[in-house]
Amino acid sequence: MALKIKLRRIGANKQPYYRLVVADARTAVRGKFVENIGNYTPITDPMTLVVNEERALYWLSKGAQPTKTVHKLLVKAGVWSKFLELKNRSKEEACSEGV
């Protein structure tokens, strides 16, 4: 099952409010999802972004692919840089164990 981290709109007309969800890549935007990992409100000034870093890193490490918009949001939240650090650290450990 290919997983994606995508936005799910739940706001009223002209009042967008989104949830960051982990869902099967084949499901619709309003379809079933595996887990809710954050919230995004673009209309507040400044915009509100809440991400559960622990769960986001877990799903990214399991192979979940973020959409372009979610990728940008994860970069703003600082989660993406932590994911890259963990990824590089695990590669270095694998190389040092192999030598």
- For tokens 């990824």, what's the residue? 87
pLDDT in tens, 2-57: 899 999 998 899 999 999 999 988 877 777 889 999 999 999 989 999 999 999 99
Report the CATH number at residue 92.
Answer: 3.30.1320.10
pTM of the complete model: 0.85
Number of domains in the chain: 1
Question: And the tokens for 17?
Answer: 């409010």
Domain that holds residue 30: 3-98
